[in-house]
Amino acid sequence: MKSIITFASISIFATIVTSQNSTYKRGLTDHFIQFLNLNKNYYPYNFNRTQFFGGSFGGKDNDTSPITKVPVVFVHGAADMLYGDNDSNNGFRYSIEYFIQNGYTKSEIYGSMWGFGDTSNQKNLVDVISHSMGVTLSRAAIKGGEFDLEDIQIIKLNSLGSRIRTYIGIAGINYGFMVCLNETISHIRNCDKILGFYPGMLDNKTNTTIDQSKFLQQINQNKAKEGTYAYSILSLYDQVAKPYVYGGNYTSVFPTMDMAFIFNSSLYTHCQVRDLSAELQLRLLNSYHEDIKETSEMNKFI
């Protein structure tokens, strides 16, 4: 996915795209692309991601396309796509298709590989559903603040929390990757102690975590909420975002959430907890969390 797609591959993808039902057609609509191209703030970011099949999704068909629901922005995880076509890069494929089957339209569902598409809706609110590293990165973007990218630049982001109605983080890496403690991979960028997901060490004297990455500390200490409502969905059988960090805490919860929903079945792996929870995701956007009942596979946690 990180390699440059050849012209031949793009041609094949173009054929597949033109054969899709327009309801599920990947990419941004022509109407939304025109809106982005006319806006100098968005044009440089290439939100359509045409170099990838399934790199983006969303947009109105025309000026009169209705928006009756609060639009949803999907943020995928690392080494994934927004709306892929196979098990290795499905992204939010199942959630997007489930939402459309249950009344959402393409003008109410948005996403771009590691970026946000502007909804251009009159409600001025969106819902955000994220997965894996996309949880941590989207939380940082929503909370805002000043982030020192070391040898690149210092970026300052305004808080977006007032624009988010409901935020859902699935299998997030909010307290670090325990695998980063392995000396053989501790040098990789994802495990960096400044900008990465280094989980820190347990101080046995105080029973507290020390030396956690500066990035994780910054977003977890920021008390700005990710939205009016904020939820975590996680699995005890997540083989990537190992569920536990020090003290039996869950790495996929976060301090400002209203509630977590924890799956205890081995069917819910790192990607399957995203795909199999589409119904729960939709319910959380349209129901009060206290009204959602626990099941034999899922428990609630505050």
Q: In what order do the strands lie in the sheet with 56-58?
A: 27-28, 56-58, 109-112, 72-75, 126-131, 164-170, 229-235, 259-263, 298-301
Integer Cα distance of 153 and 159 in angstroms: 19
Which residue carries 């991601």 as its tokens? 49
Of 247, 251, 260, 245, nearest to 136 (Cα)? 251
Q: Is 50 buried (19+), middle (13-18) or exposed (0-12) by CB count in 10 A?
A: middle
Integer Cα distance of 82 and 80 in angstroms: 7
Q: In which element (H, E) is residue 170 found?
A: strand 164-170
Q: Which amino acid is at 172?
A: G
Residue 48 pLDDT more than 50?
yes
Decide: helix, strand or coil at residue 225.
Answer: coil
Integer Cα distance of 268 and 253 in angstroms: 16
Residue 205 pLDDT more than 70?
yes
Of 191, 188, 2, nearest to 89 (Cα)? 2
Q: What is the pLDDT of residues 218-235, one digit of tens each?
A: 999 999 999 999 999 999
Of 170, 163, 174, nearest to 280 (Cα)? 170
All structural domains of the chain with their residue ranges? 7-301
What pLDDT score was predicted for residue 177? 87
For residue 12, give both structure tokens: 């094949």
The pLDDT > 90 percentage for the chain reads 36
Angle, to 10 degrees, between the axis of helix 214-221 and the axis of helix 133-143? 60
| Beta strands 154-157 and 164-170, pairing class | unpaired
Q: Give the contacts of 278 (CB within 8 A, at least 6 positions apart).
A: 94, 95, 98, 99
Q: Is the pTM of this model over 0.85?
A: no
Integer Cα distance of 297 and 155 in angstroms: 42
Least confident of 67-76, 112-121, 167-176: 112-121
CB atoms under 10 Å from CB of 158, counted, come to 8
Residue 43 per-residue DSSP state: G
Domain with residues 7-301, CATH architecture: 3-Layer(aba) Sandwich (3.40)
Least confident of 6-10, 34-38, 148-152, 205-209: 6-10
Mean pLDDT on 207-217: 89
For residue 208, give both structure tokens: 């507290």
Q: What is the pLDDT of residues 262-274, one digit of tens each?
A: 999 999 999 999 9
CA quadruple 221, 224, 229, 233: dihedral, nearest 10: -30
Q: Over the Cα atoms of the chain, what is R_g?
A: 19
Integer Cα distance of 145 and 219 in angstroms: 9
For residue 196, give both structure tokens: 């990465």
CB atoms under 10 Å from CB of 138, counted, come to 25
Better pLDDT: 189 or 18: 189
